[in-house]
Homo-oligomer: A and B are copies of this chain.
Amino acid sequence: MAEITYIDAINRTLHEEMTRDETTFLIGEDTGIYGGVFKATRGLLEEFGPDRIVDSPISESLIAGMTVGAAMVGCRPLPEIQFADFISPAFDQIVQQVARYYWRTRGAFEMPITLRCPYGGGVGGGVFHSQSNEAWFMNTPGLVMVAPGSVRDAAGLLRSAIRSQDPVLYWEHKKLYRSLKDDLPDGDETLTPIGKAEVARTGSHVTAISFGYTYQLCLEAADQLAEDGIEVEVIDLKTLLPLDKSTVIESIAKTGKAVIVHEAPKVGGIGGEIAAILAEECFWELDAPITRVAGYNTSFPAARTMEEHYMPSTAQIAAALKTAVET
């Protein structure tokens, strides 16, 4: 048992799952020779060779879309988009083809595709290396989205995604890559269930709902508030689509107050969907306005002063949780 980082958990899981299933292949930009711009795919080319570890041309639409034909003839494709910011050229293939093909063929062809997508800010990258784009895909039935917020889930959700028969967008947060370390037993084959959120910390005063990097901030905020006697329940969504409504609703039944946190701009972010579910399905349990702590409604800025301002902070989350409790 050794402590490993979030990114190493990804790397290790890729190794394991590609060893386990010979129909898997990985395609992306700089994923082979270079081992990935973040080194998430390090060592794979050496182990599995260029037939299965494909250094793609700069053709995101192809990277995402070719998986459909490959899946049809029996492969289990693992495409990677280098930065989430560059998923937009692949948007068409993902929402129109990858996500719908199983439905279109009335189940004739399953799409066991896992598309990895490094996202998020706080790494000094400016508008094209910092985006959190998950909301673009929320209106796409047929697509699954997961977003690990812990080392265990970095492995467990990736493993589940790869073994799933559905197309999964796997959102890995760049800021967690090396900042998050945890035990991950050797040979661990945990499958984090897709479609299930987790109450990561129990509390009775207010519920913080988040995922990925901001989920970690919520844990920090909960720690801070505990000192003032405020008990925050923290939910790690893990799966963004389809959302696990019941875990969230149950929590609100207990706390009556919800603060939703994400990094993408607030307007049109996935917090809207969560708030709408609560306002529709557990309205009577709510005893305070639903708050969203999210990115500002602008593009993501480059200079460090502005970047720091843009990112949601633990203090802001704590303040919002406190305000909710005091309402």
Point out the residues of chain B lying under 8 angstroms from A3, CB to CB.
none
- A interface bracket (residues with beta carbon within 8 Å of B): 35 or more
Most buried by B among A243, A280, A281: A280
Closest CB of chain B to A130's CB: distance in Å? 12
Count of this chain's copies in the oligomeric assembly? 2
Is residue A28 within 8 Å, beta carbon to beta carbon, of the partner chain? no
Q: Smallest CB-CB separation from A99: which chain B residue?
A: B299
Q: In the assembly, what is the distance between CA of A196 and CA of B264, in Å?
A: 25
* Partner-binding segment picked from A18-26, A158-166, A285-293: A285-293
The contact string, 1 if C-beta is below 8 Å from chain B, for chain A 250-280, is 0000000000000011011111111110111
Please list 22 pairs of residues, one from A and one from B, whose beta carbons are closer than 8 Å in the complex, sorted by A's number.
A61-B89, A88-B91, A88-B96, A95-B136, A96-B128, A104-B127, A136-B136, A136-B139, A141-B265, A142-B299, A272-B272, A272-B273, A272-B276, A274-B276, A275-B279, A276-B292, A279-B279, A279-B286, A279-B290, A280-B289, A280-B291, A284-B289
A binding-site residues for B, Cβ under 8 Å: 61, 85, 88-89, 91-92, 95-96, 100, 103-104, 127-128, 133, 135-142, 241-243, 264-265, 267-276, 278-281, 283-284, 286, 288-292, 297-299
